Structure 1
């Protein structure tokens, strides 16, 4: 600019805003959190009366450690829903909660005891439980702050805890409903057992890992001639039945051998074998035909002959001896017949076609035992060792206290070899159940446990959806619940359809006790075994309300409860504690039903957790509510995937690929973490890592720039400027049409919990429709038009409408940033975007005909801008305002549309000529804009020093070096 050239910079209406380009989120977010807490936003929203309720019931995290990225994903998704439902007109309530009882906390306290050389069993139960309570309280306080730091709204000052006295009272009350409706029973059956933790485990507490097991092929020899239909032929009486197992330690508990009548079996003779083989030439063995060759290979048999087919009737006519018969020094421990029994569970896919059956150590075995009256054995102690007086193996451990393999398997294998019963042995790597807490291998162990019978008919007056727990659950799944994604329905349905009775009891101390009394000397099947009394139940509930569940363990409690109801000396008090899944499964009662911010019918609109909760919280809540409420406790279930690293690998500390939410927040801020969730498809597993977060941060910057443009160009906007839609130029009315379209997309997307769809639509709108198109075009009018000009007023009106919609549309996802944007325009001590609703968008803003017209205009514009970019790259021009292209348009309708608007303004050129003349061959053509060809021409005239357009009239007005528009604006 020369000394003679006027400086018009101060006359241009450049954006004015204190909204910073950089978010500085890690530093600034805590201030907003403190502000929200100070002005009590969550409670103020509850004061908006007359709104339909929406309740997302929180699946309680466990109070025993810092949050991981999966926690963050879960809570952020919940927050998206709670906030979006609120801003769409609901009374959206969210009460966070914690799961407080159970083995993980108890295990931590035991570790502390062991470090001090103390024995947990020597400590008073109440004192031990109180230590567990204090441990949980400490982690609840830590996790609460970590969750709040994510920007999650909710009733943080009054969460629910499963260890609150009222919660413990309700859990006990819900349990006693099972006692009263007849679904509770005590049974002795094999359950998944952790020798390390000395307790039964629920299916949800079990995970499967590769494990190398011993495998053995064991000979059983015939014992007695018998059978109701056919007596065995002589050749079978001298043949061995061979079984295969990967749990040699269960052999001492064998009570039968199972076969399948549908399988083809044969009698085989060993002709030759390796020198080191246990199989001897001449011996005969019974095998499934499909498996004979594999068994012979394992047994190092070099040549064998199939002698004949063996029928199912012949097999059933055999009775076998236990492999350890006669090897126990005359004790007689294994001196009993081992029957051959038909069983559908036997296959010829692997093994021998014969299944060693120990009813105390496997569900199939147990079911077969029930059917044929096989006796149970009690050879294995809670710590995973054989009972001390078991011959040969007494006291030996299957699993050590450290979770390693004990000597039991090897001892059994050696004893089998010594007894001549071992045909072959080996090792097998396979998937095996482990405790998800201790990571130690599990065993099936027969113990007396308390169960909820899920197929027992209930006469409780709640039979609308079925008369058993299972039928109510399956009916609820199909008729009462909306599944997001829909595949969640199939997972839970199949799990509940095939699950066994619910093992309710745990042999631990930290939990809600099974509040029941059993008659001394009575069999569990006796009608008077359980004391059922409504007055007694009410006393227990009242005591728990007043003193918590610890009171169950205080001296004299039994006598106090039974006084005037039954003779305390005639009853034993049960001291097992409830499965913690029963605790969390009961939360619908003490949260949804009992709290003032619950629901009228005690049913949640939504449960939301990871896919693992189909066998966890979704599952236990369904069963528990169907037992005590008659139906599902939820109307909707949403499941999300797991978090993986950038390469798609499972996160693990040993691999060093974990991403801690605290670290992301420290580096980027919580809104970046929230934006990562919004951009992701949560229905599958989600990847996260440094490069992914960099991409998220880039998206954030682009969005922030959009909002900064709005704020800068709305400075000083007043209602007097507002222009009615009917008086706006077409371009502004096209923006209104897009807002009407987006309003439907956003509302439908939020209602369907499709956050990725909502975000993608809004991000594309901001970056493509606004930043790259509308803002780009209207900068000239906003900066250079006179304040009273129709174009500038219309543009500012549209920016105001955009502001109110974008801030509220994005607020559920970008809670901190949209608050920053809102307060930059509407400051105030008690103001917040989170107190707003999404504004209604008039349906008459939609204008499909106008939208179709502008689709054509935008395509033609792309052809022009691409042509100008070629000239810019060649350094023919430096800016598009230096151009005045000639645009050849073949389609007469498109040509008419382009002539009806100021196409030069839309292309940001100083001039532009439209023509229907055929385009010369050298004209620029863009495949995406067919029928449009551009011939480059430079603009004629001088450059206006105010708006920078090059026009012929510049210099001919009162204000030097200006065009007519700028001269008028300067007055």
Structure 2
């Protein structure tokens, strides 16, 4: 018996050098080098010159350390969007940038000084600033290479840095625009202050953490009560969780409509004793009892029971040393409205110290006083609370500035002078000096270190912050501006800026003609801009709107060294800042030449010019809030590079930037231009670990993007980013990345198949769509539908609700490749590809569609996996001076869409799945080895009902990849049996004309005979 002929060499198997194993970690750096050598970004700008422009303005990260997963997620998402816009044929530049000023960098330099036990304040300012500049420059270089390694394409040779001289000059110029329009004032108000960093903080620089604080009840003796004389001698009780504010108390606030009670502790003693309670229970003079016994107190009626229980609980803890529990009896002497407290006066518990503490503490009506918690009376410290400040100011009580920059009381303060810090738990605790002194003075009713609540912290030092009244520079939210609404109605009055404790500029308008009739406040302008901006996801508008509606005036000054100075001169007598366009022009020119350093070492008389005497002016040396820096970047990046009327199409950052960059940019542009600096804003969530926890070094759950890239490659990380529902927080870990790797591998293998199947394809082989079999036309129909779905994600002009929802884009792309192509189309047509004659129309049609698919899919994939897309493209069209990223959106004919194909082919695919399920038991039991050996019978009735009877049995057997399909009456559903036909030695199909296994079928004989 002779061996059967080997027909392997006669089969047209795919041929490609494209490897199945990606090796991305090693391959991607070489592709990056190729892009740099050919100047990919520069050439792309040349090719898109004159096209419609799409500007995604990059939010600047801080240049102070290696990138983390949040950076990677953010930059990859931006790059995917920019590349997709370029794919649409737009000129989509990307200018990366960095925030180089402010505490993030300055804090790092101070840490180095602290390690050397040196004081930063003893270093010359210019020297310290130079160190900050060098530190920022170093990390810009490091992060730049890390971002490039992610595959982020941009103008890396000319990024924007807020510390570049031109940028610093522009930032100063933006500030002076506010000054010239009167939208600036200096006033003393409580602001968020970091005693550790010794500077004011913006809301965006604050995070909230749960802490346990000391809560105390303090009694203020009432000395005057003209509307209720019986209150004299009683004690007004306040409750606070900030004991350190008691040394700066100046008043007490009450609710005019709140009901209060005057209550006397008629007796207090030991619970369970047989002796009746009396004022002098023999043998029990414990301080927890004596400070209450026989005294009268004023508290809100609705809070009396909870307050009384709170007092006894505190006393029980205090008396635990003697193993006794207190009990009491009280008598309500009077119920009265808060209005009866009008004109009343109390004295501070530490009044015996004299001076500030001997002054009477007036009762003031406060609308903010509630009966939610505490006692219904609130102690007022105008230095340390917004409500306190406003109420006291309205009643002629100003701040006393007792707490210094470092959180200590100033040396000359009568009580606790030179002591602190006020954020030290031991200092403010129940056994600390504040509580001890109050206890000895008889003013402390209760104290416990057990109050759990959320409290603001600096997100850099992680230390608690305080509200502290200091002279600062503010941009007012509710003072009218000379800028009208853009895109909406104007209007709106304004309160006098003196309500902020400020001296307003005398000429609100640059020309001094007064405010325009349609002038609006900055808050009005910003809210109007919000309504005319597209927010992605749509729900994010609620967050930014509520923040702007409720935010206080913008504190723009910082008491630091590294940043852009508030370049103003303030008249020593009038307190007004100088507004002179000629002076401002000289300041800006000086900054252009030497940056912000020009201010700190300036010849200020020269800058003022001959019309002003420097001796008459104070030189302001505060620096600008770094959020003002980043909020101004649109002016020197977008407008500076693309023209004064240019505006960013998109800002994209994490959800925390609603109180950060999104908002500071909105306020800066609204205040100077009357509109937002962006047309749309996309908000993404945060990267969490695989279990949904915040990444933390202490938890050991940090996923380092640099390690992921080194092990798996950037394209795997990019697949993860593009696949996530990034509008919410997303998870990443080994299992998640394994899923991304698997998805990538399937897509790569499909590209490998396409490259192999098209290895010798030529234009002459193409077949018109009209001459193609229905299966090929169905695949073109699915491609056209996919194209529309993907375009709805990237093309804003489509008006789609799915705009920028790349998880939808990626899911649709991968599902099409895996389900429609690999598992269906490729599977069915591999026999045609391998075994049909090269000139066979069906094979030509198939390869024509494969070519169409290749050109579409490599383009669709390019924004998401740019390295692999380049590798795929160069494998088919090798040219070191060309790139897949020069290509534009594929030409997909909308006429390919044919809804009539959907129903029929959906049922064919459904029947195909059912056939496979029916075959599987036979395969498991090794009755047959492959589906090609199966004969399938389908109920004729079922076939008619399911609209597949019109499809020939021969075609169905090809679609189902079986030996034969027959329609039969009298059977139910689908039956399968081994075929009795023989197997062709070349194509391996079992066909009736094959006389014995290994012989050739008619088709294969014809192909070989040709």
- Residues 307-318 of structure 1 correspond to what in structure 2 (within 5 A)? 307-318=333-344
- Residues 64-463 of structure 1 correspond to what in structure 2 (within 5 A)? 64-226=64-226, 231-234=227-230, 236-274=231-269, 275-277=286-288, 279-300=291-312, 302-326=328-352, 328=353, 331-399=354-422, 406=427, 410-427=432-449, 428-460=451-483
How far apart are the structure 2 equivalents of 1:237 and 1:247? Answer: 27
Q: What SS does structure 1 have at the residue aligned with 2:351?
A: coil
Question: Contact 1:195 / 1:382 at 8 angstroms: preserved in 2?
Answer: yes
Q: What SS does structure 2 have at the residue aligned with 1:684?
A: coil
Aligned counterpart, 1:512:
564
How far apart are the structure 2 equivalents of 1:900 and 1:158? Answer: 65
Q: Cα deviations across residues 882-914 of structure 1 (Å, max 9, x unaligned)?
A: 112222132526243332871111111122212
Question: Contact 2:953 / 2:965 at 8 angstroms: preserved in 1?
Answer: no
Q: What SS does structure 2 have at the residue aligned with 1:912?
A: strand
Aligned counterpart, 1:766:
817
Aligned counterpart, 1:697:
741
Aligned counterpart, 1:55:
55
Does the C-alpha gap of structure 1 residues 292 and 419 become closer, same or farther in structure 2, counting only changes over 3 Å?
A: same
How far apart are the structure 2 equivalents of 1:106 and 1:856? Answer: 67
Aligned counterpart, 1:803:
854
Q: What SS does structure 1 have at the residue aligned with 2:648?
A: coil
Aligned to 2:631, which of 549, 564, 585?
Answer: 585
How far apart are the structure 2 equivalents of 1:848 and 1:477? Answer: 41
Is 2:955 the counterpart of 1:902?
yes
Is 2:612 the counterpart of 1:561?
no
Q: CA deviation at 1:190?
A: 0.8
Does the C-alpha gap of structure 1 residues 679 and 215 become closer, same or farther in structure 2, counting only changes over 3 Å?
A: same
Question: Contact 2:427 / 2:433 at 8 angstroms: preserved in 1?
Answer: no
Q: CA deviation at 1:565?
A: 2.6
How far apart are the structure 1 equivalents of 2:349 and 2:649? Answer: 59
Does the C-alpha gap of structure 1 residues 181 and 462 become closer, same or farther in structure 2, counting only changes over 3 Å?
A: farther
Aligned to 1:488, which of 540, 546, 549?
Answer: 540
Aligned length: 936
Does the C-alpha gap of structure 1 residues 191 and 408 become closer, same or farther in structure 2, counting only changes over 3 Å?
A: farther
Question: Contact 1:210 / 1:431 at 8 angstroms: preserved in 2?
Answer: yes
Does the C-alpha gap of structure 1 residues 404 and 64 become closer, same or farther in structure 2, counting only changes over 3 Å?
A: farther
How far apart are the structure 1 equivalents of 2:917 and 2:484? Answer: 74
How far apart are the structure 2 equivalents of 1:237 and 1:318? Answer: 9
Q: Cα deviations across residues 113-144 of structure 1 (Å, max 9, x unaligned)?
A: 23334322222211211111010000000000
Q: Cα deviations across residues 689-733 of structure 1 (Å, max 9, x unaligned)?
A: 111111111111111111111111111100111011100000000
Question: Contact 2:982 / 2:996 at 8 angstroms: preserved in 1?
Answer: no
How far apart are the structure 2 equivalents of 1:237 and 1:593? Answer: 67
Question: Contact 2:191 / 2:467 at 8 angstroms: preserved in 1?
Answer: yes
Aligned counterpart, 1:819:
870
Does the C-alpha gap of structure 1 residues 739 and 695 become closer, same or farther in structure 2, counting only changes over 3 Å?
A: same
Q: Cα deviations across residues 421-455 of structure 1 (Å, max 9, x unaligned)?
A: 11111121211111111111111111100101111
How far apart are the structure 1 equivalents of 2:147 and 2:721? Answer: 15
Does the C-alpha gap of structure 1 residues 100 and 646 become closer, same or farther in structure 2, counting only changes over 3 Å?
A: same
How far apart are the structure 2 equivalents of 1:207 and 1:690? Answer: 29
Q: Cα deviations across residues 49-102 of structure 1 (Å, max 9, x unaligned)?
A: 332100000000000000000000000110110000110121111100000000
How far apart are the structure 2 equivalents of 1:642 and 1:316? Answer: 51
Q: What TM-score comes out, normalization by structure 2 length?
A: 0.91
How far apart are the structure 1 equivalents of 2:699 and 2:656? Answer: 22
After the TM superposition, which of the residue ranges 377-386 and 112-121 deviates more from structure 2?
112-121
Question: Contact 1:160 / 1:591 at 8 angstroms: preserved in 2?
Answer: yes
How far apart are the structure 2 equivalents of 1:600 and 1:694? Answer: 47
Aligned to 1:892, which of 932, 944, 950?
Answer: 944
Aligned to 1:720, which of 742, 764, 788?
Answer: 764
Question: Contact 1:464 / 1:630 at 8 angstroms: preserved in 2?
Answer: no
Q: CA deviation at 1:759?
A: 0.8
How far apart are the structure 2 equivalents of 1:34 and 1:439? Answer: 41
How far apart are the structure 1 equivalents of 2:731 and 2:69? Answer: 11
Question: Contact 1:393 / 1:408 at 8 angstroms: preserved in 2?
Answer: no
Aligned to 2:672, which of 610, 622, 628?
Answer: 628
Aligned counterpart, 1:948:
988
How far apart are the structure 2 equivalents of 1:20 and 1:320? Answer: 86
Question: Contact 2:292 / 2:445 at 8 angstroms: preserved in 1?
Answer: no
Q: Cα deviations across residues 861-894 of structure 1 (Å, max 9, x unaligned)?
A: 2221211112111211001111122221325262
Q: CA deviation at 1:38?
A: 1.1
Q: CA deviation at 1:332?
A: 2.0
Q: What SS does structure 1 have at the residue aligned with 2:469?
A: strand
Give structure 1 stretches of 5+ with no counterpart. 921-932
Aligned counterpart, 1:745:
789
Q: What SS does structure 2 have at the residue aligned with 1:863?
A: helix
Aligned counterpart, 1:542:
589
Aligned counterpart, 1:961:
999
Is 2:81 the counterpart of 1:35?
no
After the TM superposition, which of the residue ranges 115-124 and 637-646 deviates more from structure 2?
115-124
After the TM superposition, which of the residue ranges 888-897 and 288-297 deviates more from structure 2?
888-897
Aligned to 1:834, which of 861, 885, 901?
Answer: 885
Is 2:686 the counterpart of 1:642?
yes
Q: What TM-score comes out, normalization by structure 1 length?
A: 0.94
Q: CA deviation at 1:405?
A: 5.3
Q: CA deviation at 1:269?
A: 1.6
Does the C-alpha gap of structure 1 residues 564 and 288 become closer, same or farther in structure 2, counting only changes over 3 Å?
A: same
Is 2:523 the counterpart of 1:470?
yes
Does the C-alpha gap of structure 1 residues 939 and 623 become closer, same or farther in structure 2, counting only changes over 3 Å?
A: same
After the TM superposition, which of the residue ranges 947-956 and 364-373 deviates more from structure 2?
947-956
How far apart are the structure 1 equivalents of 2:686 and 2:365? Answer: 43
Question: Contact 1:433 / 1:441 at 8 angstroms: preserved in 2?
Answer: yes
Is 2:932 the counterpart of 1:881?
yes
Q: CA deviation at 1:318?
A: 1.6
Is 2:964 the counterpart of 1:918?
no
Aligned counterpart, 2:275:
none
Question: Contact 2:904 / 2:948 at 8 angstroms: preserved in 1?
Answer: no
Q: Cα deviations across residues 752-802 of structure 1 (Å, max 9, x unaligned)?
A: 001110111111111111111111100000000010011111110010011
Question: Contact 1:884 / 1:938 at 8 angstroms: preserved in 2?
Answer: yes
CA RMSD after TM alignment: 1.7
How far apart are the structure 2 equivalents of 1:381 and 1:889? Answer: 92
Question: Contact 1:589 / 1:602 at 8 angstroms: preserved in 2?
Answer: no
How far apart are the structure 1 equivalents of 2:472 and 2:84? Answer: 45
How far apart are the structure 1 equivalents of 2:201 and 2:472? Answer: 11
Give structure 2 stretches of 5+ with no counterpart. 270-285, 313-326, 491-519, 796-802
Q: CA deviation at 1:956?
A: 8.8
Question: Contact 1:853 / 1:897 at 8 angstroms: preserved in 2?
Answer: no
